[in-house]
Amino acid sequence: MATKKKTLKKGSAKAKVQPTAQPQAPAQPTQPQQPAGQDLSIADLKNLATIIDVASTRGSFRANEMATVGAMYNKLQAFLARVAPEQKPEDKKADAPATATK
Res 56 pLDDT > 70: yes
Average pLDDT over residues 55-62: 94
pLDDT in tens, 82-102: 998 765 556 555 555 555 555
Question: CB–CB of 42/79 below 8 Å?
Answer: no
pLDDT in tens, 10-42: 555 555 555 555 556 556 666 566 566 678 899
pLDDT of residue 60: 94
Q: Please tell me the distance from the alpha carbon of residue 102 to that of residue 95, in angstroms, as a whole number.
A: 21
pLDDT of residue 38: 79
